Structure 1
Amino acid sequence: MGEDTVRSVARALAVMKALQRLGRAGLAELQRETGLPKPTLLRLLQTLEAERVAWRAQGDGLWRPAFELTPSRVLQPAHQRLVAHALPALEALRREVVWPSDLAVPDGSAMRLLETTRRASGLAVQRDQIGHRIDLLRSAVGRAYLSACSEATRAALARRLARPLGRPAAELAADLEASAAETRRRGYAERAPGFGGGDAPIEEHDDLLAAIAVPIVAARGPVLGAVNIVWLKRFDARDAIVRRHLPQLLATAAAIGEAAGRRGPQVPAT
């Protein structure tokens, strides 16, 4: 793709974003919004109209978007910023530890995989797709996230999850408090016994992995998510990994939280 083509794509996206922001606009208003020369802007609009992503109403002569550009739930703008802050730290951690790490963020009553170094590690570790939903209550990243949340947040999650789990909300809330306290005492979270990485029972689905995780807390703001170290559980390496690498994992989470808190808006609230 040539430089002119790349510039044209960027300009077309700028026009679409301006149309979406304004709702409807004439050529002069779009020129003020985008800073593009009028002949260039008109060619772009005519191309967008031909591709049916923008249209000009005959009644008022104004341009409108034919559809909306919306960020995906998996990777919203705040997520993109968090990934940008996190990737250098995650890669540095992988080089030191060898075993890979995952970055996960809260998404309603689950966690969502936002980034991972599993591919870069070159190890025979199962690779989940980016955007994969992770069990909040049984995964290491979910338990790490919950340990750093406020009691009110945990109580709200207990109320949300109680009915699907068929449990009294007060009982589930008490379990979450106990789990969070244990995670804080230990200094890291690990998977619940019998959790195989998926929704199905471990007898039906087992990714053969073990993990420890710690929360990511912004320097000025909320709990952003969690980061882990994963390894093949047949190596029975938890004690060695905790002893050798927990300080590095904690430092990585702190570095991500500090960078994210210093450089703009946080991950969307759930």
Structure 2
Amino acid sequence: MTDTVQIQKAKERDPSIRSVERAIIVLRALNQAPVSTLDALYRLTAVPKPTLIRLLHTFEELGLVTHAGRPGQYRLLDGVNMLNSGYHHVPHIVQATAPIVRKLTEQIKWPIAVGVLEVDALVVRYSTIPYSPLSLLHSSINMRLSLVARAMGRAYLAFCTPEERQTLLEILRQSPHSEDRLAQDSEAINALMDATRERGYALRDEAVRPVSRTIAVPVMAQDVVVASIGMTWFSSALSTEVVIERYLGELREASRRISGLL
């Protein structure tokens, strides 16, 4: 999709939705560094500077942002933590999920992660890496996973409602991150989502960390996707076909049991 088409589509969207998208994008950019300049925010977000200034003034009035000592520098305040002060389902999901996926890792040895949506990515909130002898990482807690490139993100995106998926894709099209680039190709991403829903599981883009692979399934609560769980393995040790044959049923059963607790 060309820049001209993207700009035209942005103009055609509801202005109120566009404003929310920009606010989220700017808050996310501010969270990437202790102090941000107006120029740095512009480079990260591509939001016009007059709009950036208006958003930053609004954030200041709401107690979310303050000047950082020098003109044109900004930093987040603790007020941003109040945005999730009433958000309690993540601890509940982790509490329900942890014993089930830990037991599964003890059986199959491969590490399993649990991810929940945070604005525009799946964030790992629990991992069985400490209980697995077969992990490349020391920890994956709080790792942000692309919704269009990573298996756990794809599992969530494919099984959320069409309305939520459309909103998330609109946000991802503004993302500067290379792993989110697929969101700009509507035909390709729609085909990927259709295929993922049809087979009931997602795989990570093979170009991302080729040394390993991940397979993931959604976790549902009353027919609404609330998380995803993914198993990661060494790509040199097992083929995808073998993993599907050996472990997909185990992952689906774990997801079913978690859903029953939610």
TM-score past 0.5 threshold: yes
Could you tell me which of 188, 195, 208 is aligned with 2:208? 195
Render the CA deviation track for 1:126-167: whole Å, top value 9, x for unaligned: 133411111111000001111111111111112111133599
The count of aligned residue pairs is 183
Could you tell me which of 122, 129, 135 is aligned with 1:118? 129
Give 3-state SS (helix, strand or coil) of 1:235's partner: coil
Instruction: Judge conservation of contact 1:146–1:180 (CA < 8 Å) in 2.
Output: yes
Could you tell me which of 214, 218, 223 is aligned with 2:217? 214
User: 2:149 is aligned with what amino acid?
Assistant: R
Question: Shift of the alpha carbon at 1:173?
Answer: 3.9
Unaligned runs of 5+ in 2: 1-77
Partners of 2:247 and 2:205 lie apart in 1 by 21
Residues 106-145 of structure 1 correspond to what in structure 2 (within 5 A)? 106-145=117-156
1:229 aligns with 2:258: no
Give 3-state SS (helix, strand or coil) of 1:227's partner: strand
The match for 2:115 is: 104
Instruction: Judge conservation of contact 1:99–1:229 (CA < 8 Å) in 2.
Output: yes
Instruction: Judge conservation of contact 2:120–2:171 (CA < 8 Å) in 1.
Output: yes
Question: Shift of the alpha carbon at 1:73?
Answer: 6.0
Unaligned runs of 5+ in 1: 1-66, 197-205, 261-270
Partners of 1:210 and 1:131 lie apart in 2 by 19
Question: Shift of the alpha carbon at 1:106?
Answer: 0.8
- When residues 99 and 180 of structure 1 are mapped into structure 2, their CA distance, relative to the original with a 3 A threshold, is same
Partners of 2:142 and 2:183 lie apart in 1 by 31
Partners of 1:148 and 1:170 lie apart in 2 by 16
Give 3-state SS (helix, strand or coil) of 1:86's partner: helix
1:184 aligns with 2:197: yes
Structure of greater Rg: 1
- When residues 124 and 101 of structure 1 are mapped into structure 2, their CA distance, relative to the original with a 3 A threshold, is closer
- When residues 244 and 106 of structure 1 are mapped into structure 2, their CA distance, relative to the original with a 3 A threshold, is same
User: 2:121 is aligned with what amino acid?
Assistant: A
Partners of 1:226 and 1:245 lie apart in 2 by 15
Instruction: Judge conservation of contact 1:213–1:227 (CA < 8 Å) in 2.
Output: yes
Q: Alpha carbon RMSD of aligned pairs, Å?
A: 3.1
Could you tell me which of 242, 249, 252 is aligned with 2:251? 249
The match for 1:163 is: 174
User: 1:212 is aligned with what amino acid?
Assistant: I
The match for 1:79 is: 90
Instruction: Judge conservation of contact 1:145–1:223 (CA < 8 Å) in 2.
Output: yes
Instruction: Judge conservation of contact 1:214–1:253 (CA < 8 Å) in 2.
Output: yes
Give 3-state SS (helix, strand or coil) of 2:189's partner: helix
- When residues 151 and 210 of structure 1 are mapped into structure 2, their CA distance, relative to the original with a 3 A threshold, is same
Render the CA deviation track for 1:77-121: whole Å, top value 9, x for unaligned: 321111110011102211232211000111111110010111111
The match for 1:10 is: none
Partners of 2:98 and 2:84 lie apart in 1 by 20
- When residues 179 and 71 of structure 1 are mapped into structure 2, their CA distance, relative to the original with a 3 A threshold, is same
Partners of 1:96 and 1:140 lie apart in 2 by 22
Report the TM-score when normalising by structure 2. Answer: 0.62
Partners of 2:166 and 2:139 lie apart in 1 by 29
Question: Shift of the alpha carbon at 1:237?
Answer: 2.9
User: 1:232 is aligned with what amino acid?
Assistant: F
Residues 5-84 of structure 1 correspond to what in structure 2 (within 5 A)? 77-84=88-95
- When residues 169 and 159 of structure 1 are mapped into structure 2, their CA distance, relative to the original with a 3 A threshold, is farther
Instruction: Judge conservation of contact 2:113–2:124 (CA < 8 Å) in 1.
Output: yes
